[in-house]
A and B are shown apart, each in its own frame.
Chain A
Amino acid sequence: MVVFEDGNFHKEDHFFVKKDPARIYRGLKDLLVNEFDMDRIEEMRNEFNVQKPKDKIRLFAYKEKSPHTLIEYKLSFRAKPPKSIYKQERDQDILKARVTTSAKIKSYYPGRNEFSFEPVHPGEKPYRNPEGGALKAEHESRWHKSKFYEVLVGIWHNKLYGKEIEKYEEESEETCLRIHDLMRQKFGVEKSIGQSGRSQYQPPWSG
């Protein structure tokens, strides 16, 4: 199986607030599905604390662009009291919310595992493997494992499919920025630097 990883976008926002830092993740999954039309959402280990705000939410959201390519969004939302060093000169009841997003475009040749609901052997990772799966080694034929196949796929992916990959990179960046802007709205902070109008991707939420 030949895997290509393109694009690498990363962004972090930290907010220090007096109350209700958990507003960052309320209605999050509905937002991801309705506004961004994500095809699959996988949750990693989440932590919720009842006594004090100390919540951790980690998600992988996938958007399939073709039978071979998908965009992987890694989202992490945290609500917690900040480290004691920040509290020394401030009120004791200050709380912190953190939003981190990153996006990658992954392409698999000969193709992804169509039966993605199959349980994955835990192996070295005791919690679920978030990488979306792919055709496992024993499903590939000798042709798929050969070097010549790798060369052909490399030429196809870089020469012919490269333009589409660039479009997907733009789309993933725009989506991550949009997620950050929506979170910032909840905290009354102005929008981040926009990259819209760069070229080809017309986001469905604009205009």
Chain B
Amino acid sequence: MEIVEEVHRARQEIEVKRPDSALKEFKDLLEHEFSHVEEEKHVKKPDEETGRFVTERHMDQFTHEELEIFISVNYSEAEISLQIKGKLLTHYPEDYIHQKTVWYYAYRTLYDKFLYGNAREGFIPNVEEKTEELLKKTRQRLEA
């Protein structure tokens, strides 16, 4: 059973010194910042390069934060456009047969609504802070 909550969005356009290696440096930055990064999509055009990355950071046994990052590098204008969507995903395991029944689903729904929901709200400032930190480090590293 999964509960997805989108908590933060940020968008930025940055002028860069070296557009050819901007994406490579950004990937390097992500690898250092997060322990789990995946590059889901990569599009290489003659004058433009875009990529979609997903990073994961576990908060506790049920919840993890996911940042979906869209980056687009424009070589001619020496500019990158960055969009980050921060999400909190709560995953309740469904390994055993009793966890796939409708009664367990009802129990988990009530558990999430009345007990766990507050804990998840407590993670929202962390996600926002992490997003802002990532944007700041990108600017420090890549900005002209």
Residues of A within 8 A of B (CB): 10-16, 86, 90, 94, 147, 150-151, 154-155, 157-158, 187, 189-190, 192-193, 195
Contact = CB atoms under 8 A, between A and B. Distances in A.
B44 A14 contact: yes
Contacts of B31: 193
A11 B40 contact: yes
Contacts of A90: 45-47
Contact of B95 (A14, A147, A158, A193): A158
A157 B24 CA distance: 40
A140 B46 CA distance: 56
A193 B37 contact: yes
B102 interface: no
A16 B41 contact: no
A-B pairs with lowest CB-CB distance, top 4: A158-B95, A14-B43, A16-B45, A12-B41
Contact of B41 (A13, A151, A158, A193): A13
B44 A154 contact: no
B38 interface: yes
A150 B95 contact: no
Interface in B1-43: 24, 27, 30-31, 37-43
Contact of A86 (B27, B39, B45): B45
B44 A16 contact: yes
Interface string B52-86: 01000000000000000000000000000000000
Contact of A154 (B41, B46, B53, B95): B95
A151 B95 contact: no
Contact of A158 (B42, B44, B96): B96
Contacts of B95: 154, 157-158
Nearest to B99: A154
Contacts of A13: 41-44
B97 interface: yes
A90 B31 CA distance: 33
B38 A15 contact: no
Pick from A13, A15, A147, A193 the residue with the most CB of B within 10 Å.
A193
Contact of A14 (B30, B39, B42, B53): B42
Given A11-B39, A11-B41, A15-B44, 16 more contacts: A11-B40, A12-B41, A13-B42, A14-B43, A14-B44, A15-B43, A16-B43, A16-B45, A151-B97, A158-B95, A187-B44, A189-B42, A192-B42, A193-B27, A193-B38, A193-B39
Given A151-B97, A154-B95, A190-B24, A10 B43 contact: no
A14 B95 CA distance: 36
A94 B48 CA distance: 14
Contacts of B96: 151, 154-155, 158
A12 B42 CA distance: 6
A108 B96 CA distance: 16
A157 B27 CA distance: 36
